[in-house]
Amino acid sequence: MVQCYERMSRVKKWDKVFQSPAKFGGWIYGVYLCVICYVGFEFNTHFKQRSLHQLEQHVSQYQSRLNNQLQRFAHLLYSIEAYQRASSDITPEQFYHLAQSQLAGLELELSLESYAIIERSQVLSLEQKYRSLGFFDFTVRLPNRDSGLFLTTLKAAPVSEFGHLLGSAVAIVDPFIQRIGNNELQAVKWHQAQRWSVVIEQFDMQRPQALRALGIGFQLNHLLEGLFGQLYQTSGHHMHVIANEHLVFSSDWQNQFQLTEKQAGITEEIDFFGTPISMHLYTQAQLTPSLLNNYTLIILAVTLIAAALGFMVLMQVRYLTARHDTINNLVEERTASLAQANQQIQHESNKRLAALQQHIVAERKYKSLFVNSSEGLFVLDKYGVLVDANPAFRSLLLGDAHQNTRLTLSDLMLDGDVAERWQKMVEQLQPHEELEWLAGSGQSRGVWVRQTGSWICHSHEVIYEGRITDITALKLFNEQLKYKAQHDSLTDLLNRQTFLQLVEASRTESPGQFVLLYLDLDRFKLINDTLGHLAGDKLLIEFAARMRELVGGFGDIARLGGDEFAILLDVEKLTAPLELLLEDILAAIRVPFEYQGMAHTVSGSVGVRRFTAPCLNYEAEKLLHDADVAMYEAKKRGKNDYHIFTSAIADEASRRLQVERELQTLDMDQELSLRFQPIYCSFGKNIVGFEALVRWHSPQLGVVSPAEFIPIAEECAQIVKLGQWVFKNAMLFKHQLPDDDLFISINVSPIQLQHKGFMNWLMAQFEDAKYRPSHFKIELTESAMMTEENSLVAPLQKLHGLGFGIYIDDFGTGYSSLSRLNVLPVDGVKIDRAFINGIEGTGKPRQLIEAICAMAKSFNLTVTAEGIEQLAQLQTLSTLYCQQMQGYFMSKPLSGFEALQLLHHQASKNLLNEVS
């Protein structure tokens, strides 16, 4: 990454260098164009000059060739002239022979010619002369218009056309004469086409004044043909030779190239012995113009190509620059990202380095932890074989014996099932939660361990890293805790919760008959209160031991709380009928137990609930409650007995529950009212007081009898509040009574009297003089008085001391010991209406009431008979020691208003009687 970054940086540097041509490409290209144009131009010039030079060379070459030929003519001519000069007179034959000898063998047809230079005036003389010499048809043919000197052909040899040549004349001009005079060669153009002669002056020794000339005649075109006829074939050139504006020669004899329409490559003016002729040379390039031969075009093309190439290069450079810019941007971006990545990598690597260092430190730590850990650490391979274990593991489970042997964890497990399960987990490499197992090996036995660990993939290998902790102590502790949680600490019996679970299990699991017993010790509270809690505890422990002895072998016994116990029996396991067992249980309870050297006896009440499993309709709680209800019934029926649960009891209990529930939410002012039943004097004539009787009209349950709800209110502690309400309203009624002597009898529950709050409240009601306690009588049922005797003595005495009358209600039903009447501050008794029935006869009821009355008399107690429904009963009682009468015969319980009306009515009746 770092290298890459450096490379990117280098690219960036180059990039600046690379960018400049792109920026200045325009003007560089301009310079480049100028240069190549200049070079092109230079080349063009050079090639032009070179070709010109070549042409010049060619022309001079051709010229020299022509000159050479002419030189030869000149030499020949001069030599002939010299010869002629030497031989003063030469005959025509000699002349002919001379010509033939000198000119023979030449490739060109030449003729040796002799001329006379004459004036027009000399023509005749000359003609005559030559005609005279035998040339009879000699005629001088002068040009018509010219005047001056003429050159006239006199002799010509050896060509056959002499005849024609003789006499031909051309006008000669001054330059000709000058040249001739200077002994220079002079070319003469004859009138015949292409006929030329090269002429020199011929000196005639004999007639020096006569102008004579000697020349060689030839066809110029033939001469040129001989020289340049093959020019095109040899050099590719063509040539035009023009003399006196006439074309004298053309190498393109077929006029193939139409040279006359073309501009000559070079034109060379030649002095042709005094006559100028021009030589026009046409080059190959001119003749067959070809792009390949046209240097200008080639150079132009090359220049253009170079320019185009340059342009392409420029475009390429621009394109590359553009691309380069893109790449550059890319490179910059990449460089930035690389730099960032580099930083990240560095950061990462620093982090990793730190992590590695930490890892190393941690590894060292963990290694030391592994070795020094007090917990057993171990490693298994994927087959569950122990591959490593720390000293703690070895000392806990292995010792030295297994150090070198192949050992799996399941070898250490004492429980075969656990070992099998573990082996399956190993086979499936299955993850697991905490495992607890009992370990045992040759070295260690019965060690409970807790195993945690997991399968991990380490260096392509699956291993198990685990940890074991010795939890033997914890297990024991837990077992103890569990036991404690399930058992009652005092009696070591099962506790309520465990027992309920047991009942629940029996009810739902195995089918069968079961019996649930609910046991309650009668009068246990008394033992506790009188002998103390230690005695109570001892009694409970003793009871538990007896029950264990009796049913422990086949039943489960539990203490539900206080003095309540429960037993679950499987009927199948019973060896005797259930009733016998129940009797035995009651008998075992009754066996006196010793405390501090004294024997104490208690009895028990047992509720029995049978059920058949599976019993899906009732839960364990309900079954136990049913047994409790049955036990309550047994208690109600006199205790020291058992009672088997029936649905009737259940209904009763349910009704009780309903009443109790309604009582909890009782709105007393709305739902309660007081009725007042008049109490009469012994003859039933005058009202002496009223008994306040509470009425409850419940919105849910309707009218509920006090005989039903008072005992329930007593149990659920509502009685205190209710009693206060009754007292308060009775006092209000008392306040309305016209006669101050009339008393109000109020039924009071012993619980009210035992309640300090009630007593204080009651005292407070009588603190002012508005009410006098002597106007109120307190009725306590006989049974209540007897059972709560001790605790009632003090409050009753207090009330009695204040002036309240104390009456024993329902007298005769409570089996009270008459001797106790002395102990209690009682002012009177109210004989229960059960004893009133049948007293009008002479049978047992009569005797019984007489006995009661006699007894009351002996104790000096006021006797009130209640429940008088017939006149006869009233009459009978009037004869006995019975001071007060109460019953429907005289009056039913009345509302306050009715009672007041009754009083009013009675007062007016008494008044009438008195008047009459």
Chain residues in the site for Mg ion (CB under 5 A): 747, 779, 809-810
**Binding interface with ligand C2E (CB under 6 A):** 677, 692-694, 705-707, 710, 726, 747-749, 779, 781, 809-810, 833, 866-869, 886-888, 893
> Which of the listed partners (Mg ion, ligand C2E, none) does 506 bind, with a CB threshold of 5 to 8 Å by partner kind?
none
Are 689 and 633 a contacting pair, CB within 8 Å?
Answer: no
Min dist. Cβ of residue 703 to ligand C2E (A): 10
Min dist. Cβ of residue 832 to Mg ion (A): 6
Closer CB to ligand C2E, 422 or 811, in the complex: 811
Measured CA to CA in angstroms, residue 547 lies from 200, 461, 671 at distances of 191, 64, 48
Closer CB to Mg ion, 153 or 747, in the complex: 747
> Which of the listed partners (Mg ion, ligand C2E, none) does 202 bind, with a CB threshold of 5 to 8 Å by partner kind?
none
Neighbours of 454 (CB within 10 A): 11
d(CA 404, CA 497): 52
Min dist. Cβ of residue 616 to ligand C2E (A): 42
Closer CB to ligand C2E, 53 or 892, in the complex: 892
d(CA 402, CA 413): 14
Are 542 and 623 a contacting pair, CB within 8 Å?
Answer: no
Closer CB to ligand C2E, 557 or 722, in the complex: 722
Measured CA to CA in angstroms, residue 444 lies from 39, 240, 395, 410 at distances of 111, 140, 9, 15
Residue 783 host element (H or E): helix 782-787
Min dist. Cβ of residue 717 to ligand C2E (A): 14
Token pair listed for 218: 């030839």
Closer CB to ligand C2E, 613 or 668, in the complex: 668
Closer CB to ligand C2E, 607 or 887, in the complex: 887
Min dist. Cβ of residue 903 to Mg ion (A): 20
> Which of the listed partners (ligand C2E, Mg ion, none) does 677 bind, with a CB threshold of 5 to 8 Å by partner kind?
ligand C2E
Min dist. Cβ of residue 666 to ligand C2E (A): 14
> Which of the listed partners (ligand C2E, Mg ion, none) does 244 bind, with a CB threshold of 5 to 8 Å by partner kind?
none
Min dist. Cβ of residue 538 to ligand C2E (A): 37
Residue type, 85: R
Q: Where do the DSSP E strands lie in 205-364?
A: 212-219, 238-243, 246-250, 266-272, 275-282
Closer CB to ligand C2E, 44 or 673, in the complex: 673
Closer CB to ligand C2E, 140 or 722, in the complex: 722
d(CA 622, CA 628): 10
> Which of the listed partners (Mg ion, ligand C2E, none) does 626 bind, with a CB threshold of 5 to 8 Å by partner kind?
none
Give the end-to-end CA distance of the chain in Å, rounded to a whole number.
Answer: 140
Closer CB to Mg ion, 605 or 747, in the complex: 747
Are 277 and 270 a contacting pair, CB within 8 Å?
Answer: yes
Are 728 and 746 a contacting pair, CB within 8 Å?
Answer: no
> Which of the listed partners (Mg ion, ligand C2E, none) does 398 bind, with a CB threshold of 5 to 8 Å by partner kind?
none
DSSP string, 662-729: HHHT--HHHHEEEEEEEEEETTS-SEEEEEEEEEEEETTTEEE-HHHHHHHHHHTT-HHHHHHHHHHH
CA atoms lying within 13 Å on the CB side of residue 116: 23
Neighbours of 795 (CB within 10 A): 20
Could you check whether the bond before residue 795 is cis, i.e. omega within 30 degrees of 0?
A: no
Min dist. Cβ of residue 580 to ligand C2E (A): 40
> Which of the listed partners (ligand C2E, Mg ion, none) does 266 bind, with a CB threshold of 5 to 8 Å by partner kind?
none
Closer CB to Mg ion, 321 or 747, in the complex: 747
Closer CB to Mg ion, 106 or 855, in the complex: 855
> Which of the listed partners (ligand C2E, Mg ion, none) does 428 bind, with a CB threshold of 5 to 8 Å by partner kind?
none
Neighbours of 419 (CB within 10 A): 17
d(CA 766, CA 772): 7
> Which of the listed partners (ligand C2E, Mg ion, none) does 726 bind, with a CB threshold of 5 to 8 Å by partner kind?
ligand C2E
Min dist. Cβ of residue 785 to ligand C2E (A): 12
Residues in the chain: 916
Long-range contacts of the stretch 160-163 (C-beta < 8 A, 24+): 162/111, 163/137
Min dist. Cβ of residue 484 to ligand C2E (A): 45
> Which of the listed partners (ligand C2E, Mg ion, none) does 693 bind, with a CB threshold of 5 to 8 Å by partner kind?
ligand C2E
Collapsed DSSP state (helix, strand, coil) of residue 911: helix
> Which of the listed partners (ligand C2E, Mg ion, none) does 199 bind, with a CB threshold of 5 to 8 Å by partner kind?
none
Residues β-bridged to residue 446: none
> Which of the listed partners (Mg ion, ligand C2E, none) does 332 bind, with a CB threshold of 5 to 8 Å by partner kind?
none
Min dist. Cβ of residue 863 to Mg ion (A): 13
Collapsed DSSP state (helix, strand, coil) of residue 862: strand
Min dist. Cβ of residue 813 to Mg ion (A): 9
Closer CB to ligand C2E, 617 or 705, in the complex: 705
Collapsed DSSP state (helix, strand, coil) of residue 201: strand
Among residues 507, 511, 436, 422, the alpha carbon closest in space to that of 470 is found at: 436
